[in-house]
Structure 1
Amino acid sequence: MSSTTVQAKYEIKDPTLAPKGKQRIEWAGREMPVLRQIQERFAQEKPFDGIRLIACCHVTTETAHLAIALKAGGADAILIASNPLSTQDDVAASLVVDYGIPVFAMKGEDTATYLRHVEIALDHRPNIIIDDGSDVTATLVKNRQHQIPEIIGTTEETTTGIVRLRAMFNDGKLTFPAMNVNDADTKHFFDNRYGTGQSTLDGIIRATNVLLAGKNVVVVGYGWCGKGSALRARGLGANVIVTEVDPVRAIEAVMDGFRVMPMEQAASLGDLFITVTGNKHVIRGEHFDVMKDGAMVCNSGHFDIEIDLKDLAERSTEIKEVRNFTQQYKLKNGKSVVVLGEGRLINLAAAEGHPSAVMDMSFANQAMACEYLVKNKGKLEPGLHSIPQDVDQEIARLKLKAMGIAIDTLTSEQIEYMNSWTVGTD
């Protein structure tokens, strides 16, 4: 079946991949008990009846469970890809064929196709946008002002997306509520640190099959994603170097036992570079010039702009693919630099993204954030809103319950002591 003949309904690579996708979606569900409990409640309460929703996310087995939960809650939802290399075509097929959820995503789609999918999503006239990097929200704000009155709100789960939303608000352009899912404790403490940490190294190893023990691994940025990547690289025996622009994070990296230095110095030492900043061109021309022959660079931050690939190409005499998701740039100085995953998210380009267990909490936050927006329609001011603490705590409780772990509760005496300044030591 040609995707172009059914473009109005969905656009995927191959519907016949659905059986494999369904099997993989079901496997991921074994590790997603929190979202399963939320889905069961949504199916009974139908909080999204009459709500049009679009989700711009990595189309993976984990995202599938978020989409299924939202549909169970009554949402008229469609899904597009937030990254052209992260789409799992079998999952996209299963969502369309087995679950009746319209998907517009194909692994390897070009920029023009991605932008067309963004427009298709906005043609759905959404009331709620689930975004990953704020591309859809930014397109709405720039080009579709007439649709803003229909928007209840948006949710965002990436650091880059939150930065962009803050900039929109400061410029007076964000005139509706946006839920800051990224900064929920049950998101960034776990998803960014443990999810990114493990899946980044997984993607690197799948793409290269190199031994990391004994290698100099340069982690560019020491936010939660950087902390996770540095921790896991050290666990595999790497000598980890951290580069930072934030003095507080730099001190933290030092006290966590890592070497900290400017990129100018680290560039000549690294065997492998991992960018996790969310910023632009943190590895660029002057760094490529001094890198070791065969140095590998990859990105696990957000967009594919952290590594200046245009500059690298201009310094090269030859570019060739040496393995899947592995391109070797032959520099004019005779050395080579190896780029993994075309500079896109290596954990999704060459591997399967975060383990289901951590995305369980991240997508639980997304689902609960959407419900919060609907319940508080017309009551929230424009701008960024944090996930309410009771929602964050409930997600953690559900996770612990699913893991069979019990914790203590405060006694009435302890509650009084913690909440009163008149109760002191006896």
Structure 2
Amino acid sequence: MTEYPPISEQLDDVDAARVEGRRKMDWAAQHMPIMAAVREEFEADQPLAGERIAMAMHVEAKTAILVETLADGGAEVAVTGCNPLSTHDDVSAALDAHDSITSYAKRGVNDEEYYEAIHAVIAHEPTITVDDGMDLVAMVHEEYPELIDGIVGGAEETTTGVHRLRAMDADGALDYPVFAVNDTPMKRLFDNVHGTGESSLASIAMTTNLSWAGKNVVVAGFGYCGKGVARKAAGQNANVIVTEVEPRRALEAHMEGYDVMPMAEAAEVGDVFLTTTGNRDVVVREHFEKMKDGVLLANAGHFDIEIDLDALSDLAVETYEARDGVDAYVLEDGRRLNVVAEGRLVNLAAPVSLGHPVEVMDQSFGIQAVCVRELLENADAYGPGVHDVPDDLDREIAEIKLAAEGVEFDALTDVQREYMGSWDHGT
């Protein structure tokens, strides 16, 4: 296997990086009451003792709290990035200083280095995988099948990764159980809607120094992420246009009050285009040819394939860096189409991106942590394939959050519970 070095061997001033990374992590930890509660339990009970956890995640301050929580629960953890531009090197260095953590994540790696780092993580021979986008799971199955018998299971963070896993499962190619963390309510309803909406728009605004007010913002896809982007953009006085391929979601967007039209039409009027589909070739050559001068193109999907940058490059007679994090493509007729963050995940890959708000990721990472615990406590209950997160785990995280916020809520009475479980009570 590879000899790819950890981050501590790649930085010139690793001590200074660790200090700054720890400062970021300490700030995040102050606002993550769910992870604080889970961490306290893990430190006391050591439910992960003797386990080896391989992770491919966005390595920044909030993720680092999850990584440390797993390590403090007794595991040996190896972690790398799941996107070449989302790692914070200082946070990666701070993680690597932990006795039970090895971090290979580094910002700005090329494709070869990106996959070498995943190889390095797998070299630790994991018993658990925690993934964001499924690159780690895919590599284990494709190149290290001999390790699969030793893997208890895994957890997948994001929409794209779950889509890939379900396709893999349908083909009978997924050989160990993986929890679809993305699809559980405490992740989907908050991370995907509020997290993606807030962080994507904030990253674009900070990168460009432009306002949303009065702009025609084209949101490609009206799933949970698209709904969040549309809602937050409308809240900042943008005119929102939605494009969709699924008729019921298109109708939902229409009934929510958004303009709905094909991308071919939206291309003529949009000022900002933000893709949230998880699919490829959402904005392509025919659309570029119709766009106005000065438009912004950004992607909030996991992979950089939603905007066809190869086609845009072919159309361009010149490219230049218009701002840090913004590449301008000049077309033959003089129009400039501006791509933010190289078409990568904009809320993490733009130069000033910080990812989702801390409070949002507290919920998502709380789910990740208890899913790892569940795999080890009840391994025999889960066969190979994609599994929904057990509802009691989702409720557990919600209750921790409500308690931390000082929010009280009702409970069913015995009579109500009996009624809801019966079929013979009519009017």
Q: Could you say whether these structures have the same fold, taking a TM-score greater than 0.5 normalized by the shorter chain as the test?
A: yes
Task: Please say if residues 77 and 100 of structure 2, whose CA atoms lie closer than 8 Å, have aligned partners that are also in contact.
Answer: no
Distance 1:297 1:6 in 2: 34
Distance 2:129 2:342 in 1: 28
Task: Please say if residues 220 and 274 of structure 2, whose CA atoms lie closer than 8 Å, have aligned partners that are also in contact.
Answer: yes
Q: Hey, what does 1:362 align to over in structure 2?
A: 364
Distance 1:304 1:34 in 2: 32
Task: Please say if residues 12 and 105 of structure 1, whose CA atoms lie closer than 8 Å, have aligned partners that are also in contact.
Answer: no
**Worse-superposed segment, 371-380 or 187-196:** 371-380
Task: Please say if residues 417 and 424 of structure 1, whose CA atoms lie closer than 8 Å, have aligned partners that are also in contact.
Answer: no
**Worse-superposed segment, 95-104 or 358-367:** 95-104
SS at match of 1:43: helix
| Deviation, structure 1 residue 334 | 2.1
**Which string of whole-angstrom CA distances, capped at 9 and with x for unpartnered residues, describes residues 82-115 of structure 1?**
0111111121121123665211111111111101
What number of residue pairs does the alignment pair up?
422
**Which string of whole-angstrom CA distances, capped at 9 and with x for unpartnered residues, describes residues 260-311 of structure 1?**
0000100011000000001001001010011001111000111011111111
Task: Please say if residues 10 and 102 of structure 1, whose CA atoms lie closer than 8 Å, have aligned partners that are also in contact.
Answer: no
Task: Please say if residues 68 and 99 of structure 1, whose CA atoms lie closer than 8 Å, have aligned partners that are also in contact.
Answer: no
Letter in 2 for 1:142: E
**Which string of whole-angstrom CA distances, capped at 9 and with x for unpartnered residues, describes residues 304-337 of structure 1?**
1111111110111111111111000011232110
Alignment counterpart, residue 406 of structure 2, candidates 391, 404, 407: 404
Q: Hey, what does 1:204 align to over in structure 2?
A: 204
Distance 2:124 2:256 in 1: 48
Task: Please say if residues 263 and 287 of structure 2, whose CA atoms lie closer than 8 Å, have aligned partners that are also in contact.
Answer: yes
Q: Hey, what does 1:104 align to over in structure 2?
A: 104
Q: Hey, what does 2:24 align to over in structure 1?
A: 24
SS at match of 2:292: coil
**Which string of whole-angstrom CA distances, capped at 9 and with x for unpartnered residues, describes residues 64-95 of structure 1?**
11011101110110110001111111211211
Q: Hey, what does 2:5 align to over in structure 1?
A: 7
**Worse-superposed segment, 157-166 or 14-23:** 14-23
Task: Please say if residues 4 and 117 of structure 2, whose CA atoms lie closer than 8 Å, have aligned partners that are also in contact.
Answer: no
Letter in 2 for 1:235: G
Q: Hey, what does 2:394 align to over in structure 1?
A: 392
SS at match of 1:69: helix
SS at match of 1:268: helix
| Deviation, structure 1 residue 365 | 0.8
Letter in 1 for 2:405: M
Task: Please say if residues 295 and 337 of structure 1, whose CA atoms lie closer than 8 Å, have aligned partners that are also in contact.
Answer: yes
Distance 2:6 2:187 in 1: 34
Task: Please say if residues 217 and 239 of structure 1, whose CA atoms lie closer than 8 Å, have aligned partners that are also in contact.
Answer: yes
Distance 2:4 2:289 in 1: 48
Task: Please say if residues 230 and 240 of structure 1, whose CA atoms lie closer than 8 Å, have aligned partners that are also in contact.
Answer: yes
| Deviation, structure 1 residue 377 | 2.2
Distance 1:424 1:218 in 2: 48
- 1:56-205 map, 5 Å: 56-97=56-97, 101-205=101-205
CA pair 6-283 structure 1, distance change in 2 beyond 3 A = closer
Distance 1:205 1:110 in 2: 27
1:224 aligns with 2:234: no
**Which string of whole-angstrom CA distances, capped at 9 and with x for unpartnered residues, describes residues 336-373 of structure 1?**
10000000111112210001101001001111111111
Q: CA RMSD in A?
A: 1.6
**Worse-superposed segment, 42-51 or 9-18:** 9-18
Q: Hey, what does 1:239 align to over in structure 2?
A: 239
CA pair 294-146 structure 1, distance change in 2 beyond 3 A = same
- 1:252-267 map, 5 Å: 252-267=252-267
Q: Hey, what does 1:55 align to over in structure 2?
A: 55
Letter in 2 for 1:171: D
Letter in 1 for 2:375: L
SS at match of 2:274: strand
Distance 1:244 1:42 in 2: 43
Distance 2:6 2:103 in 1: 10
Distance 1:299 1:132 in 2: 17
SS at match of 1:297: strand
Q: Hey, what does 1:381 align to over in structure 2?
A: 383
Distance 1:144 1:19 in 2: 36
Task: Please say if residues 285 and 312 of structure 1, whose CA atoms lie closer than 8 Å, have aligned partners that are also in contact.
Answer: yes
Distance 1:54 1:30 in 2: 26
Letter in 1 for 2:379: K
Distance 1:383 1:18 in 2: 38
Letter in 2 for 1:388: P
The TM-score, its normalising length taken from structure 1, stands at 0.96
CA pair 59-12 structure 1, distance change in 2 beyond 3 A = farther
Distance 1:260 1:422 in 2: 45
| Deviation, structure 1 residue 378 | 3.6
Alignment counterpart, residue 415 of structure 2, candidates 410, 413, 416: 413
Aligned identity (percent) is: 45
CA pair 210-151 structure 1, distance change in 2 beyond 3 A = same
Letter in 1 for 2:370: M
**Worse-superposed segment, 287-296 or 161-170:** 161-170
| Deviation, structure 1 residue 158 | 1.0
For structure 1, list consecutive stretches of 5 or more residues without a partner in the other structure.
none
CA pair 11-229 structure 1, distance change in 2 beyond 3 A = farther
Letter in 2 for 1:7: P
1:294 aligns with 2:298: no
**Worse-superposed segment, 355-364 or 105-114:** 105-114
**Worse-superposed segment, 400-409 or 328-337:** 328-337
- 1:40-51 map, 5 Å: 40-51=40-51
The TM-score, its normalising length taken from structure 2, stands at 0.96
- 1:275-314 map, 5 Å: 275-314=275-314
**Worse-superposed segment, 385-394 or 92-101:** 92-101
